[in-house]
Amino acid sequence: MAKHHESHGSRGTRRSTVEPRVAYSRHAETHSAHGSQLHYGQHASHRSAAAIAAQRTRRIAVLVVAAVVAVALVITVGVVAHGWFVRQSAPSMQQQLPTTAHKSLTRKTVPQLDPGNIVIGVNGSETTYVLKGEQYVEGGAHAIEPEDGVLTGNIVTTGTVDTNTPGDYTVQYTVHDSTGHEASATRTVKVVDTMDKQTGGIPVLMYHYVYDPANPPADVDANWIPTTSLEPQLQYLTQNNFYYPSWPEVRAFIDSKHSLPKNSIVMTFDDGEPHFFQYGAPLLAKYKVPATSFVIGADGEALNKMKTYATPYLEYESHSFDMHRAGGTVGHGGRISAMSHQEIVDDLKQSEQVTGSLQAFAYPFGDTTPDAIEAVKETGTLAAFTTQYGWADVGADPMNLPRVRIQGTGSLDTFIAAIQ
């Protein structure tokens, strides 16, 4: 704006210079007969020429300044335009990357190895022991995501184990969700020359509900265990290096096809009750103790609870879809005894849609019949459990196994005695 006023001022100066010049010339022509007046006109013409020269000098200076300003403006506009072009053209340059490179950089806008909200964990202990020369039994893994639900069936397993050569091997489990997030878990497999072995059988512990003694439920029976009792048990297992086999390992052990390390144990919690998820699951994660939650599929909140309280140390198996209710005449009166063979098979298959797995099964109320046992076997289940008390012995029927009930009123010494 300052330059605009400057230029405007010079135009005003030009008007004040030209007008006197015209007046002086007319005066000279009018009075040409008078010498004094002619002299005055000549003098005026001389002054007018000087003014014109000065005015031209000023005009030239103004033009030079204007030219300099114009050049500077052009340079500035060019720099700004170049920066804008670079910014606008950058994305299109990325889009022109080779297809393979572009995919490696963007997988649905999510970088690789970003797990998002996927929870993945190995089944059983993260470190597996195998005797040299025995077959390695793959335990698998489990995964779940808040939006996609159970992802266990999408897990890809990689790695090799040479059981003829002692050493450490790695098995990796990888899964993706629907938005491209990737999560993985790793199992270390130790092939050893010798180890202290589990003999005779294995204790499969049966828990139900967990509660906070500072805020106990209205009705507490032997199925309820306070956190103040569960936590010392988990501490004992951790301090004494107990081993937690996967369900395939348990089945191979019962079939006398696989050795387990001494102090092997299995943790199970029935029903998928909210208090267990709220108080029990966090303790299992705290002590890194793998466990199985036997879930009732027909529970409308089952999947939400599974997703909300998911941890790498908690896998989900079937407690039936809709057989956990009255209607039969055997045992505790569960309806399984009143169902046909095919109805039981169909129920378990429907349950698998919720849990994502059917490796293990807990009979509702512990009730069984010969036909029910055959139906469970038909589904490919590896191990099925009643509520009868006892260890799962080598050579037993894997479709009709007992468990060790852990009651909330028992002491730590009672617990230790039950698992030794």
In a domain, 105, yes or no: no
In a domain, 142, yes or no: yes
Residue 298 shares a structural domain with residue 391: yes
For the residues 338-364, what does the mean pLDDT come to? 97
Residue 283 shares a structural domain with residue 307: yes
Residue 116 shares a structural domain with residue 216: no
For the residues 273-287, what does the mean pLDDT come to? 97
pLDDT value at residue 159:
98
From 180, 195, 210, give the residue that closes a domain: 195
pLDDT value at residue 114:
82
Q: Please say if the pLDDT value at position 77 is more than 60.
A: no
pLDDT value at residue 61:
52
Domain enclosing residue 263, as ranges? 196-418
Residue 275 shares a structural domain with residue 335: yes
pLDDT value at residue 297:
95
Tens of pLDDT, residue by residue over 316-341, are: 999 999 999 999 988 889 999 999 99
CATH of the domain at 159: 2.60.40.10
Residue 316 shares a structural domain with residue 373: yes
Strands 119-122 and 141-145 come out as antiparallel
Residue 18 shares a structural domain with residue 132: no
In a domain, 102, yes or no: no
Hey, what are 48's tokens? 């007018």
CB contact at 8 A, 392 and 204: yes
N residues, the chain? 420
Residue 227 shares a structural domain with residue 118: no
In a domain, 27, yes or no: yes
Tens of pLDDT, residue by residue over 164-203, are: 999 999 999 999 999 999 999 999 999 999 999 999 999 9
Residue 190 shares a structural domain with residue 214: no
CB contact at 8 A, 258 and 235: no
From 148, 180, 195, give the residue that closes a domain: 195
pTM for this entry = 0.73
CATH of the domain at 242: 3.20.20.370
| Helix, strand, coil percentages for the chain (3-state, nearest 5) | 45, 20, 35
Amino acid identity at 242: F
pLDDT value at residue 49:
46
Distance CA 174, CA 156 (A): 5
CB contact at 8 A, 392 and 300: no
In a domain, 8, yes or no: yes
Domain count, the chain: 3
Q: Please say if the pLDDT value at position 394 is more than 50.
A: yes
Distance CA 397, CA 70 (A): 96
Residue 320 shares a structural domain with residue 190: no
pLDDT value at residue 17:
34
Q: Give the CA radius of gyration of the chain.
A: 44
In a domain, 28, yes or no: yes
Residue 257 shares a structural domain with residue 323: yes
For residue 261, the cross-strand partners are 197
In a domain, 214, yes or no: yes
In a domain, 413, yes or no: yes
For the residues 278-301, what does the mean pLDDT come to? 97
CB contact at 8 A, 245 and 125: yes
Distance CA 77, CA 261 (A): 77
Q: Is 362 helix (H, G, I), strand (E, B) or coil?
A: strand
Residue 316 shares a structural domain with residue 333: yes
Hey, what are 321's tokens? 């879809």
Residue 217 shares a structural domain with residue 179: no
pLDDT value at residue 113:
61
Q: How is the beta sheet containing 167-176 ordered, strand by strand?
A: 127-131, 182-192, 167-176, 156-158
From 170, 195, 220, give the residue that closes a domain: 195
Q: Please say if the pLDDT value at position 78 is more than 50.
A: no
